[in-house]
Structure 1
Amino acid sequence: MKVVIIGAGMAGLTVGIALKKFGHDVSIYEQTQQILPVGAAISLWSNGVKCMNYLGLTDKIQRIGGQMDNLAYVDGHTGDTLTAFSLDPLVKAVGQKPYPVSRAELQNLLMDEFGREHIHLGKRMTALSQQGDHVHVEFADGTQLQTPLLIGADGTHSMTRAYVLGEKVNRRYAGYVNWNGLVDASSDVAPLNQWTTFVGDGKRVSVMPVADHRFYFFFDVPLPIGLENDRTNYQANLKDYFQGWCPQVQHLIDHIDATTTNRVEIHDIEPFLTFYKGAVVILGDAAHSTTPDIGQGGCQAMEDAIYLARALQVNTLGLEDALERYQNKRNERTKTMVLRARKRSEVTHMHDPIVTQQWYESLKKEEGPHIMQGIINNIVGNVLD
């Protein structure tokens, strides 16, 4: 079957690779002239890695993945460790190591695997409609096409979603700003094989190891929406927001490269359960845009991709039947993840100071099982369990 995918991000590329492996004729149309990763890195938890394994990418993911053996929370002001523990029990429970990876390297890996010659750049979709048993698509450059199946992987601002739902859905500001990027790994900040998060005042500073002796870093600060975004002030801003924090955090701020650092106002979208209309279906951020607070945004997009490809392969009662089965399998799980991430965001970023302070206190007593069980609950129930 001919399949057209709108969007060449992780969701679009993953579903494209899966569909091609099942013999479909797949093309991707991307509105930008150059594909750039959204964000510096991604915490690819075990369910996401399993999706990559399913596509035959095990060795390639391991090569770009960071060695993350341990997890720790640290008091941001004093630098004292609140809790630290090995992730081995988690790995044994779910059957796969997690791999923090550079988004650019993951994007390039997926584009190479899909085939760059089948990715059409500078194609901004302006209209789509169902015409008989085909979907008609128009692009800003005047080109048009018809396809038996259109997959919308066009992200949080998805035009395909508006078509499927019959209305535009507004994004919800989560109340905090995130700065993220890559930096040379340094034991002056944290152990090189550990996911370390400094917490205090409803703020977070976190580093995760990725390949080639680098840390993926992010800073979270609760702030009003719409503040000035001047890249030349990033380090000064962070110095101000984290004034008085421990030497490890100050060292990290001193060594980031503002020219490659991203600043993002974090949003999500109220969950909904309709993922298709006729022969148009959505996945990834188009279907369930979430905050990054439990590290499941990219992983859920990958799960969508694998299940959609499998639904189209193993169900033979027609296209709409397969799309409905995909929708009904994925919508409740992804809704749960959006709401779980939202709840975690509210605790972490001090929507209620009492609740957040109680969380800080609980970390001092944490030995690992409670936090790991929370992560395991996000991983299990995936399409490859």
Structure 2
Amino acid sequence: MKIQAHDGGLDVLVQGAGIGGLTLAVAAVKKGLSVKVVERSPGLSEIGAGIWMAPNPMQVFRHLGLDEKIRAVSWPIRRLSLRDHTGSALQDVALDEVARDFGFELQATHRARLQRVLFDALPAGTVEFGSEIVECRQDAHSVVSTSSGGASVRSRLLVGADGLNSRVREWVFRSAEKRYSGTSSYRAITVLEEDLLGDDHASIEVWAPGCRLGCSRISAREYYWYLTFDAPQAERTSPEQNWAHAKELCERFFPRLVMLVDRCEPADVIRTDISDLRTIPVWHEARIGLLGDAAHATTPNLGQGGAQAVEDAWVLAEELSTHGLFPEALDAYQRRRAAKTQWVASTSWQIGKLCHIENPVLRWLRNTSLRGAPKSYQTKQWQRLYTLS
């Protein structure tokens, strides 16, 4: 572990070089803080799936001077289309109002490209790959963390941005409980130049009994797609079985979009069980804090997991600038962020239950309600989602 001390230690040590951890590092460096990020993977990977950056994280990236660089590796989404598996429209929403009110459209990109923009914005050597913190102890003034290689570093604060299965959270809040949603997912990126949706700048989601499929372009030659389906937790399957199952569901419910599966390889299809985290009442213990999924993991049904981590990073950096490198900054950060993240997680969970309904009567009621939803309701939801904490 190559962490170098700054005046006897770092200001902030971050575990996890995902989107939240890297954004925190960029924001903290801009505030004049010394920062190191440790990441157990050997480096930035090109393997992965897509992600949509909504107007709330894009506003953060504008504050950090990175919005144009992120736009350069993204594809703008200007329309959201929601349908049922019969092809009937449930909602069709142009995003002109969102772009006007918040300054940004949704940006669809490859997760690895977004990480690369953030990584390149940091001073050389900020991120240490192939290492992680395996234990830590703190006193009134600092945290001493020990790496997997046995080296130690002292920092004023330690932030766990290490995801749903956060090791930092396990040290501090051993009782934190993950909650399985009852659904699993396939995700992949398919190289495809054909226009599948009739609108290159549209995102479509199709709801069917027990499953749903969503997709959009992330570049002129790539579609990101995901397919969620009801399944037992931790089901053991091979890449070939995953691919075959995805194709079977597409042929049955989403025949217009089966090309998404046909044109990718089994090894490209990522399977992930969908879980969230039951509410943690406190996100820090003295000088050790949590960020993103480590603090408030949400299911992906609002497309806000990465977005909320970016908001966390911005707010935490602001509070560190205001309160200094003290636990009071972590208190203030949680006060600003807790209500919104709880609402996002709760709303996302409810949407996950709605979209897989199998009972035909309940599906009819759901569909009728969605078609009749007033525009003012959607506008109110956007305001709540996209306004920064």
TM-score between both structures, scaled by the size of structure 1: 0.91
Aligned to 2:353: 346
Alignment-derived partner of residue 20 in structure 1: 29
Contact kept, 8 Å, 2:210 with 2:356, in 1: the verdict is yes
Of 171-180 and 131-140, the range deviating more from structure 2: 131-140
Structure 1 alignment gaps of length 5 or more = none
Q: Which residue of 2 aligns with 1:140?
A: 148
Deviation at 1:370, TM superposition (A): 4.2
Aligned partner of 2:234: which letter? Answer: G
Deviation at 1:275, TM superposition (A): 1.2
Q: Counterpart of 1:309 in 2: which secondary structure?
A: helix
- Distance across 2 between alignment mates of 1:109 and 1:137: 28
Q: 1:333 to 1:74 in 2, by over 3 A?
A: closer
Match of 2:312 in 1: 304
Alignment of 1:56-75 (within 5 A): 56-75=65-84
Task: State the 1:71 CA deviation.
Answer: 1.3
Aligned residues with identical type, % of pairs: 25
- Matched residues in 2 for 1:147 and 1:293: separation? 36
Q: Secondary structure at the match of 1:241?
A: helix
Question: Is contact 2:52–2:108 with CA below 8 Å preserved after alignment?
Answer: yes
Determine if the alignment matches structure 1 residue 262 to structure 2 residue 274: no
Closer/same/farther in 2, CA of residues 98 and 159 from structure 1, 3 Å limit: same
Q: Equivalent residue for 2:366?
A: 359
Which of 161, 182, 195 matches 2:189?
Answer: 182
Change (3 A) 1:242 1:214: closer
TM-score (norm 2): 0.90
Amino acid at match of 2:26: I
CA 1:332–1:242: 2 relative to 1, 3 Å: same
Amino acid at match of 1:275: W
Whole-Å separation in 1 of the counterparts to 2:167 and 2:260: 39
Residues 374 and 231 of structure 1: is their aligned pair in 2 closer, same or farther, counting only changes over 3 Å?
A: same
Q: Deviations over 1:98-122 (max 9, x none)?
A: 2111101001111111235221122
Mean Cα deviation higher: 183-192 or 215-224: 183-192
Residues 176, 349 of structure 1: 8 Å contact kept: no
One-letter code aligned to 1:42 = I
Gaps in structure 2 of 5+ consecutive residues: 1-9
Aligned length: 379
Q: Deviation per CA, 1:203-255: give whole Å up to 9, x if none.
A: 21111221233221111111111222211223311232344334312222222
Aligned equivalent of 2:18, options 9, 12, 15: 9
Calculate the aligned-residue CA RMSD, in Å. Answer: 2.2
What residue in structure 2 maps to residue 220 of structure 1?
Answer: 228
8 A contact 1:37–1:104 mirrored in 2: yes
What amino acid maps onto 1:172 in structure 2? R
SS of the residue aligned with 1:208? strand
**What are the equivalent positions in structure 2 for 1:1-385 lying under 5 Å apart?**
2-36=11-45, 39-76=48-85, 78-165=86-173, 167-183=174-190, 184-315=192-323, 319-350=326-357, 354-365=361-372, 370-371=377-378, 373-380=380-387, 382-383=388-389
CA distance in 2, matches of 1:215, 1:374: 27
Conserved 8 A contact 2:76-2:105: no
Alpha-carbon distance, 1:46 to partner: 0.4
SS in 2 for 1:147: strand
d(CA) in 1 for partners of 2:360, 2:128: 48
2 CA distance for matches of 1:17 and 1:260? 31
